[in-house]
Structure 1
């Protein structure tokens, strides 16, 4: 029996299990895996789209669950500007001469779902490892159907907080399950498009929320804010029925040793693929074996050990940068525009235009992904948003000096910011977290990354209302200076720490991270076919440091 050099007893046991149970040698697995890697990398995105139509379809269906979180996230920020909502849950302000919800309640209600999401994300890290993607999603769709009733009929702000918290638990599962599933059913050429599609689902949810609110803003009854909550019931049932027929992730089946089922799932996901399903499974087995050699286990703590520590750092910071670049500011755009002097009706219209432009941004990201690397898109987007936030701050100076057009100028800058965000770091964060994480720790790494995002979101979600509230900081557009400064700091981080993962198989990424290849050299590195045996055999120093324009061989 052939074995890998210098592997531990656990690794040898895994290899023996594969060879004895499935009647293939490790040398045969390596040969088949190499064929799959070559065939997958030689496909064009258009060819991959034709050969894997069902992978695209099922990724699209699973990601639709994210619409619910996107809808509610934008719903709350806009409800705070709705007169009927303010009168029902707020109190009269002598400063603004109108009803308003106090900053503590604004923060509590808006952050309750984030707290629930935090718990849901942690649960998802365990659930998908134990039960798989499909069963986990089906159960959570049942829970969300019941939880929606609580905020819909909440009689007071406290009940709203409870309802939003409970709804956040399934939402946490949805937002981390969707990119992980997409990254595991998609071939390497479609991975960027299908993982970033999750962000489009958030955008669609945001757009629908504002469209609904624009229709009810003139209503004076309680249904002005209850109807938007009720509409969340239109998603769970059709998604549940469709997901009942979805294939399980073949990567998850390989991790469970169910190789025949994994091959069946690959056949369901592809159509006349140039990759033999058996070869595809062999590639997954080889990648899984390499990660067994690299890591001690699949616990959360293992995300902070060895090569996975760096992968976790990249995933966590890349997702948190969505907040550091100014996303909480945009989440309160309707409220901000009102405080800046726009009428309530105009504030809603500007916010609706912002979300409409978000669609353009996401589609632009797909154009960028075709021609540019993840690192280039991400870093370029950060720098562009820093400039736009600076302009928002300078326009506030003009507004304070009496310029009537500066408020509309701020609206224009935030519109451009939204296009840039949704064309760069908005969707790319999902892609980076899914690609950077190792396959065995993907669910837990994405969970840690998304919860890093949520922790930062909670902090700035509490701070932002105080910045904008007329009874508190009343910063208005000066908030742009704050976000520009933080955004620049993390642009520097991206330059030095964010690797380029475009076109890499997960096996190659495992090699590059274990070899500690610098982030700026990922793109030019070449991984040899026996790199895994070199790493866990003689541990030869096969990383050749060449000139900047030369190829690096790993």
Structure 2
């Protein structure tokens, strides 16, 4: 009898959302339910959202945890360039600077890592549309488990080069899946926190990497750099289990026309006992999807540069690129930069460890004002601080007759930069990029934005920064900050004129404002006539 009742209830649930299948964009029932869901989104407080959608928060956190692996690896490879045993294995002896990895190979490794990331990100944008987030993540984790063998057993820098390429393909998937999934499963009240958490995962990965490197820097054999590589095998199995058990994004299912499955996913992401109107939520998703299809029917990368998507893609790409043009390649060079200013290897890695700890705390601190201040305000204020810090480093490095005190001042300013970055630009960029794309093009927008970041990293982190810092090349030391100051200054100017405020806006409301061409500086105060806009 109980089974029959459950079957009847499931039939009712399916019938209630099937009414939206193939209905006209102006269908009255669809519009009224979409309006009800929009009102519910705006009325939901943070505490209410946590109570009702704690499952969504937990699943989002678990899926975003894959980004820890990328944060770990990026810090790992960059820090190895100043690692004594790594330098002996893959470098050569110089009279003036001892063992050094060739600047060209430093560039090559940075470049090929970014190329792998771009390949992975682009594949993710294509595959997620067809198979969803979960399947793509599981497949990527399985591949990564095999690719790690290449870097672990690499006997030459050429083999390390190949292994770096393959390992970074899955990491490109992780970096773009986390923000997209978080934005799509979280209610409006939690969206900023869960997308910003992706940056915290990045910081956690860096912190683990810095701690491992500090602990092994004085080990006088190959295990000083092999153990950090081997630690990467810890992650794939538990993360694959999480991905398998996680509910698929309801937005992915709605775009695929699977409305019943989307409703079941919503039920797994919330507490049914809290009287959530799932029909209204599905109606809002369907209505938003239809609104975007009215403008552009496609979901290809080409469509990201058509209509209002062009502006949204620009914002997302520039937001992620700002994590490069803000001087991150210098300040995240960490231990290698410290060594070039005259600080010994062990102390350099200790400073780097402290810096990653500060980055972690900074991201947590940002959560306290994330819901109070807008995305635009946090980004612009934080970025302005970064510009000033780079200017100070450049001035200190230009003083004639460099002393130990000046070297320490420059190194510590990079730590201050890390703190300011992690409290503002670092976490808020993930929120901006995850929110700014249309719902139909979200994964593609994140992928293109992250790929822009990787291309910027190829140019700046792969070619320019290693040559600026390397004692066997330009040997600019702290004067490198002048180059980054100029890039950061002009990026800040872009942000003032082009970065809109997305705080407290549903995806449909953002669609409306972009279609109306509202100026970035007017987004925060723009008033939407809900009745007029939903009925047009």
TM-score normalized by the length of structure 2:
0.94
1:36 deviation in Å? 0.9
Conservation of the 8 A alpha-carbon contact between 2:21 and 2:257: no
1:483 deviation in Å? 1.1
Measured against aligned partners, the alpha-carbon deviations of 1:213-263 in whole angstroms (never above 9, x if no partner) come to: 111111111111111000000000011112211000001111111111111
Measured against aligned partners, the alpha-carbon deviations of 1:444-489 in whole angstroms (never above 9, x if no partner) come to: 1111111111111100011101000112111111111211111111
Q: What does residue 331 of structure 2 align with?
A: 330
Q: What does residue 245 of structure 2 align with?
A: 245
1:401 deviation in Å? 2.2
| Number of residue pairs matched by the alignment | 518
User: Does 2:29 match 1:28?
Assistant: yes
Q: What does residue 63 of structure 1 align with?
A: 64
Gapped runs of 5+ residues in structure 2? Answer: 1-17
User: What is the alpha-carbon distance in structure 1 between the residues aligned to residue 402 and residue 464 of structure 2?
Assistant: 28
Q: What does residue 520 of structure 2 align with?
A: 519
Q: What does residue 137 of structure 2 align with?
A: 137
Conservation of the 8 A alpha-carbon contact between 1:40 and 1:275: no
User: What is the alpha-carbon distance in structure 2 between the residues aligned to residue 344 and residue 21 of structure 1?
Assistant: 64
Q: What does residue 270 of structure 1 align with?
A: 270
1:338 deviation in Å? 0.4
Conservation of the 8 A alpha-carbon contact between 1:203 and 1:359: yes
Q: What does residue 11 of structure 2 align with?
A: none
1:267 deviation in Å? 1.0
Q: What does residue 76 of structure 2 align with?
A: 75
SS at match of 1:248: coil
Gapped runs of 5+ residues in structure 1? Answer: 1-16, 538-554
Measured against aligned partners, the alpha-carbon deviations of 1:339-382 in whole angstroms (never above 9, x if no partner) come to: 10101111111111110100111012212212100000000111
1:433 deviation in Å? 1.0
Conservation of the 8 A alpha-carbon contact between 1:19 and 1:25: no
Q: What does residue 254 of structure 1 align with?
A: 254
SS at match of 1:526: coil
User: Does 2:204 match 1:194?
Assistant: no
1:533 deviation in Å? 5.6
SS at match of 1:405: helix
Q: What does residue 425 of structure 2 align with?
A: 425
User: What is the alpha-carbon distance in structure 1 between the residues aligned to residue 25 and residue 92 of structure 2?
Assistant: 72
User: What is the alpha-carbon distance in structure 2 between the residues aligned to residue 20 and residue 500 of structure 1?
Assistant: 33
Q: What does residue 117 of structure 2 align with?
A: 117
Conservation of the 8 A alpha-carbon contact between 1:95 and 1:471: no
User: Does 2:412 match 1:412?
Assistant: yes
User: What is the alpha-carbon distance in structure 2 between the residues aligned to residue 80 and residue 268 of structure 1?
Assistant: 46
Conservation of the 8 A alpha-carbon contact between 2:31 and 2:534: no
Conservation of the 8 A alpha-carbon contact between 2:342 and 2:404: no
CA 1:424 to 1:102, structure 2 compared with 1: closer, same or farther past 3 Å? same
User: Does 2:363 match 1:366?
Assistant: no
1:192 deviation in Å? 0.7
Conservation of the 8 A alpha-carbon contact between 2:67 and 2:171: yes
1:164 deviation in Å? 0.6
Q: What does residue 485 of structure 2 align with?
A: 484
User: What is the alpha-carbon distance in structure 2 between the residues aligned to residue 133 and residue 92 of structure 1?
Assistant: 47
User: What is the alpha-carbon distance in structure 2 between the residues aligned to residue 171 and residue 326 of structure 1?
Assistant: 22
Q: What does residue 460 of structure 1 align with?
A: 460
User: Does 2:191 match 1:172?
Assistant: no
SS at match of 1:371: coil
Conservation of the 8 A alpha-carbon contact between 1:18 and 1:24: no
Conservation of the 8 A alpha-carbon contact between 2:182 and 2:191: yes
Q: What does residue 284 of structure 1 align with?
A: 285
Conservation of the 8 A alpha-carbon contact between 1:52 and 1:273: no
Conservation of the 8 A alpha-carbon contact between 1:117 and 1:168: yes
SS at match of 2:513: helix
User: What is the alpha-carbon distance in structure 2 between the residues aligned to residue 144 and residue 86 of structure 1?
Assistant: 25
1:403 deviation in Å? 3.1
Conservation of the 8 A alpha-carbon contact between 1:121 and 1:176: yes
User: What is the alpha-carbon distance in structure 1 between the residues aligned to residue 356 and residue 377 of structure 2?
Assistant: 24
1:76 deviation in Å? 1.0
| Bigger mean CA offset, 108-117 vs 18-27 | 18-27
SS at match of 1:335: helix
| Bigger mean CA offset, 155-164 vs 21-30 | 21-30
User: Does 2:347 match 1:377?
Assistant: no
Q: What does residue 222 of structure 1 align with?
A: 222
CA 1:317 to 1:273, structure 2 compared with 1: closer, same or farther past 3 Å? farther
1:84 deviation in Å? 0.7
User: What is the alpha-carbon distance in structure 2 between the residues aligned to residue 315 and residue 25 of structure 1?
Assistant: 30
Q: What does residue 99 of structure 1 align with?
A: 99
User: What is the alpha-carbon distance in structure 2 between the residues aligned to residue 61 and residue 109 of structure 1?
Assistant: 30
User: What is the alpha-carbon distance in structure 2 between the residues aligned to residue 247 and residue 26 of structure 1?
Assistant: 29
Conservation of the 8 A alpha-carbon contact between 1:84 and 1:221: yes
Q: What does residue 542 of structure 1 align with?
A: none
User: What is the alpha-carbon distance in structure 2 between the residues aligned to residue 349 and residue 24 of structure 1?
Assistant: 59
SS at match of 2:189: coil
Measured against aligned partners, the alpha-carbon deviations of 1:405-449 in whole angstroms (never above 9, x if no partner) come to: 111111221111001111111111111111110000111111111
Conservation of the 8 A alpha-carbon contact between 2:25 and 2:291: no
User: What is the alpha-carbon distance in structure 2 between the residues aligned to residue 503 and residue 326 of structure 1?
Assistant: 30
Conservation of the 8 A alpha-carbon contact between 1:434 and 1:446: yes
SS at match of 2:99: strand
1:296 deviation in Å? 3.1
Q: What does residue 546 of structure 1 align with?
A: none
Q: What does residue 152 of structure 1 align with?
A: 152
| Bigger mean CA offset, 116-125 vs 405-414 | 405-414
Conservation of the 8 A alpha-carbon contact between 2:433 and 2:449: yes
1:530 deviation in Å? 3.8
User: What is the alpha-carbon distance in structure 1 between the residues aligned to residue 169 and residue 25 of structure 2?
Assistant: 43
SS at match of 2:82: coil
CA 1:292 to 1:402, structure 2 compared with 1: closer, same or farther past 3 Å? closer
Q: What does residue 161 of structure 2 align with?
A: 161
